[in-house]
Amino acid sequence: MGRDEFLIFAATGGTRDDEGTGLGVATRTRTRTKTPSPYKVLMLNDDYTPMEFVVEVLQLFFKMGIEDATRVMLHVHQRGVGVCGVFSYEVAETKVAQVIDYARQNQHPLQCTLEKA
């Protein structure tokens, strides 16, 4: 086996082709990164949390302006649930925890959850 044949033999993992020449086909594998699934953060309506507090939460944690926050708050109030935003799983999970903690600190039963978008 000559030098060039040896290099090809080594590059192919030490395998020979069917003819036994030591020559093989070098292949390149390409890994593709999978895009993370998006998750919706949902706010749930309750009969005790003041509307003003819900607007404050939407502005504070979801960076909404007063108009968007009011619109989402009214949607939650009228339909029982509303989307606050769509994020990666980790960000959505963090926002849900932040909203629930903030609501508890302010003695409100406001609930937030997440689901796959």
| pLDDT tens column, 94-109 | 999 999 999 999 999 9
d(CA 19, CA 22): 8
The band of 41, judged by pLDDT with boundaries at 50, 70 and 90, is very high
- Token readout for 58 is 């939407």
Domains of the chain, earliest start first: 1-30 (no CATH), 39-116 (3.30.1390.10)
71, 108, 114 from 96: Cα distances, Å:
20, 15, 7
| pLDDT tens column, 49-104 | 999 999 999 999 999 999 999 999 999 999 999 999 999 999 999 999 999 999 99
